[in-house]
Structure 1
Amino acid sequence: MADASQINFLPAELSIIVPTFNESQNVPLLAEAVAKALPGVRWEMIYVDDNSPDGTSETVRQMALVDPRIRVIHRHNRRGLATACIEGILSSAAPYAAVIDADLQHDEKILGAMLERIRQDNVDLVVGSRYVEGGGVGDWDSKRVMVSKVATRMATRLTRTPISDPMSGFFMVRRDAFLRSLPNLSSIGFKILLDIAASAPQPLRVAEVPYTFRTRQHGESKLDSLVLWEYLQLILDKAFGRYIPARFMSFAMVGSFGVFVHFTILTIMFMGVGATFEVSQAAASIVAISNNFFLNNALTYRDQRLKGRALFFGWVTFNLVCATGAAANIGVADWLFGRNTYWVLSAIAGVLVSVVWNYAMSSLFTWRRRS
């Protein structure tokens, strides 16, 4: 890393935003690689760390004592790659901002070419692309390639912007272009490039620079099956978010599966076991409520996910606030069934009452944001 006496203290032209979680081994390697890749460029590197238990924030602080171009934003009780990138960009005054992963899978050597391209007045956004000539996905297996291509097709239809790799997490954007997109950003999931492009009031002017995706050196990948759910949430939010909040759509999708669970239990007990309709409906309601709680905790409220003791108390709270809804569910369904309404229609009416109550009360109490 450069000695402090060699650093140009003029204002940074380029802010490099690096969202991190458990990347203590990688962050010094990335800083050294960037310093070599950008000789003569006034840059700063802003690590946005989500309170990594491996001490990533402290590692960056020690780096910053040697090189003042390096800073850290240490977030507590906040998680998410998209929001980390947004906070990092907003914390800087540089006219250009780049986003790069900390795991060294993005090729920092093309940052210079990206900067040269974005300095031209006819470009708002420069994307490090795996899908233009000269780029590549490295050692990805066929399944990951297929998933990426499907997600890319979906994203391309949404952005209205010709980007060969809208799923890239490696890009550079003009500050003025980012600020135009800012009011409409969804801040959902991990594909902030897609969010920026789809949120722009006018299509962005885009250039692409090829690179080959590299293998992670240290640590574990942050990708898991739930990021696909977040991606779906982002797509739905950009398509329909002006009419329906994305969190409500996620809650509704979980609720749809809860309806399946409800009817499965109801059918088994009422049609199979021969229990009374009242008992069957009550059992189905209890199981469906618990199912919705755990799925919403994992999916809809992933950024506010309850763990440990909080998970147990959240489950208790969820059941308590839904008690009135459950009672209304049973009461409405039983009342309709007693008046010769078909049992399926009776159950649907009860479920609808529970869904409305569950969403409103869980937003207020179970997953409320805590300071």
Structure 2
Amino acid sequence: MTEIGSQAKVDSLRNPVATGHPPQLAVIVPSFNERGNIELLYEKLAIALDETAWEMIVVDDNSPDGTATVVNEMSRVYANVRCIRRFGRRGLSSACVEGMASTSAPYVAVIDADLQHDEAILPQMLEKALAGADLVVGTRFAGEGSAATGLSATRLSGSRLATKMAAMIAGQPISDPMSGFFLVRRDIFENVAPKLANDGFKILIDLIVTSERAGKPLQIAEVPYTFRPRHAGESKMNPLIVIQYLGLWASKLSGGILPPSFLLFGLVGVTGVVVHMATLGAVTAGLGGNGALSSETIFVAAQITATMVAMTWNFFLNNNLTYSDRKLRGRKLVIGLLGFYAICALGGIANISVASGIYELRHQTFIAGLAGAVMSSVFNYAVTRAFTWK
């Protein structure tokens, strides 16, 4: 950061926004622990965009490495830089949405902070948008585009698989629906913004599918580029991101009837059943050697233990997976766990009530049991989302 205040450097990167022109393009940069990249990214953007009136909006998820501090220092030097610092919220998609909603520029671009995207193609992307495209995607998988230098063989294979899955729901041909590098007209974004999923890692496919299903398919153009190695810091890709993407994909495949968070909540519930049954078997076997206890007493004790273990498992898994963007910590974690126990107990009552009512009408155990399970799942999801992870 020692050169930020250098007058020669400031003059070399001066932008029309600094002289009072409103920005034509806003470049949204979602960030988490990108301190070592953010200033260099600005310099590269300034060179690439040259005389274009533009601004850079960094949406930082309260990075512990001080990324927001660096951006705020830059904003005191460069008039076209600002930072949105988020507290208690995490997630790439929601960061992009907040950034795009915060600008008055008629065109908005999303680019990663890690310098893997080639900022030099932004003028071409803007040119295609000015020529009539609603959305312009920086693609790694068409023309001269490539991802080989920026991804390992394993991640490249995974990316290609995710791309094929995304193509199934895109509704129109697109070579790189998983790209995190794109430019869109702001009015197009605003038309669908209320319907976009806040939880997720890839906003582009959500934007395309939501527009398509709203009866307003986008005119899409593509510009190829070479995906580069990360400059500094660590990749955010992890198994959690993969699971969240699968949730988004399944949600869009269902026509958006089921939100991604409900699908993940249900998946956690399935694993909870496995944990419940395993605990039930283990405790029953452990108490079975005590001849002083009746089989009924053993079952009740095992069932109570298994229920508590399964609920605890579900709570912590949901806290780290389904609601990773609003993860509870410290005192809130303890209060949330106790509240989760109470809500699940009420959900169990709802399960029994619905199942009993249907059984009395139909006398079909499977249907009654399934209806009760669905009812309790919906109840638990709705109430915990409103009160536990609000």
TM-score, L = length of structure 1:
0.87
Query: Is this contact kept in 2: 1:60–1:71, CA < 8 A?
Result: yes
What do residues 155-183 of structure 1 show as CA deviations (whole Å, max 9, x unaligned)?
11111122100100001111222223223
1:270 deviates by: 4.5
1:214 deviates by: 1.0
Question: Helix, strand or coil: the match of 1:18?
Answer: strand
Closer, same or farther: CA 118–327 of 1 in aligned 2, 3 Å: closer
Q: Aligned match of 1:57 in 65, 68, 71?
A: 68
Deviates further, 265-274 or 194-203? 265-274
1:320 deviates by: 3.6
What do residues 103-158 of structure 1 show as CA deviations (whole Å, max 9, x unaligned)?
1111111111111121102x111111110121111142221111111111111111
Unaligned runs of 5+ in 2: 1-8, 289-294, 356-362
Closer, same or farther: CA 110–189 of 1 in aligned 2, 3 Å: same
Counterpart Cα distance in 2 of 1:281 and 1:356: 23
1:297 aligns with 2:283: no
Which aligned pairs between 1:3-18 and structure 2 lie closer than 5 A? 3=11, 6-8=14-16, 9-18=20-29
Counterpart Cα distance in 1 of 2:206 and 2:280: 41
Query: Is this contact kept in 1: 2:116–2:150, CA < 8 A?
Result: no
Question: Helix, strand or coil: the match of 2:175?
Answer: coil
User: Which residue of the partner structure matches residue 238 of structure 1?
Assistant: 252
1:46 deviates by: 0.7
Counterpart Cα distance in 2 of 1:328 and 1:205: 47
The alignment-based identity, stated in percent, is 48
What do residues 257-279 of structure 1 show as CA deviations (whole Å, max 9, x unaligned)?
21222222334445786453322
Question: Helix, strand or coil: the match of 1:19?
Answer: strand
1:236 deviates by: 2.3
What do residues 225-273 of structure 1 show as CA deviations (whole Å, max 9, x unaligned)?
1001110121122233643333222211211121222222334445786
User: Which residue of the partner structure matches residue 171 of structure 1?
Assistant: 182
What do residues 276-323 of structure 1 show as CA deviations (whole Å, max 9, x unaligned)?
332232222112111111111111111111123432332233224434
Closer, same or farther: CA 176–330 of 1 in aligned 2, 3 Å: closer
Query: Is this contact kept in 2: 1:282–1:330, CA < 8 A?
Result: no
Closer, same or farther: CA 267–44 of 1 in aligned 2, 3 Å: same
Counterpart Cα distance in 1 of 2:21 and 2:32: 30
Which aligned pairs between 1:1-371 and structure 2 lie closer than 5 A? 1-3=9-11, 6-8=14-16, 9-121=20-132, 123-137=133-147, 138-200=149-211, 201=214, 202-240=216-254, 242-270=256-284, 274=288, 275-276=295-296, 277-325=299-347, 355=377, 358-368=380-390
Unaligned runs of 5+ in 1: 334-340
Runs of 4+, deviation exceeding 3 Å: 4-7, 267-276, 320-333, 343-361
What amino acid sits opposite 1:79 in the alignment? R
Closer, same or farther: CA 12–324 of 1 in aligned 2, 3 Å: closer
Query: Is this contact kept in 1: 2:199–2:261, CA < 8 A?
Result: no
What amino acid sits opposite 2:263 in the alignment? M
1:43 deviates by: 0.9
What amino acid sits opposite 1:294 in the alignment? F
What do residues 174-227 of structure 1 show as CA deviations (whole Å, max 9, x unaligned)?
122222322321122110111111110322111111111111121121111100
Question: Helix, strand or coil: the match of 2:30?
Answer: strand
Question: Helix, strand or coil: the match of 1:3?
Answer: helix
Query: Is this contact kept in 1: 2:244–2:260, CA < 8 A?
Result: no
Counterpart Cα distance in 2 of 1:280 and 1:329: 20
Question: Helix, strand or coil: the match of 2:76?
Answer: helix
Query: Is this contact kept in 1: 2:13–2:47, CA < 8 A?
Result: no
1:366 deviates by: 2.2
Counterpart Cα distance in 1 of 2:40 and 2:192: 32
Query: Is this contact kept in 2: 1:182–1:199, CA < 8 A?
Result: no
User: Which residue of the partner structure matches residue 337 of structure 1?
Assistant: none
What do residues 26-56 of structure 1 show as CA deviations (whole Å, max 9, x unaligned)?
1110000111111111111111111112221
What amino acid sits opposite 1:261 in the alignment? V
Question: Helix, strand or coil: the match of 1:44?
Answer: strand
User: Which residue of the partner structure matches residue 336 of structure 1?
Assistant: none
The total of aligned residue pairs comes to 361
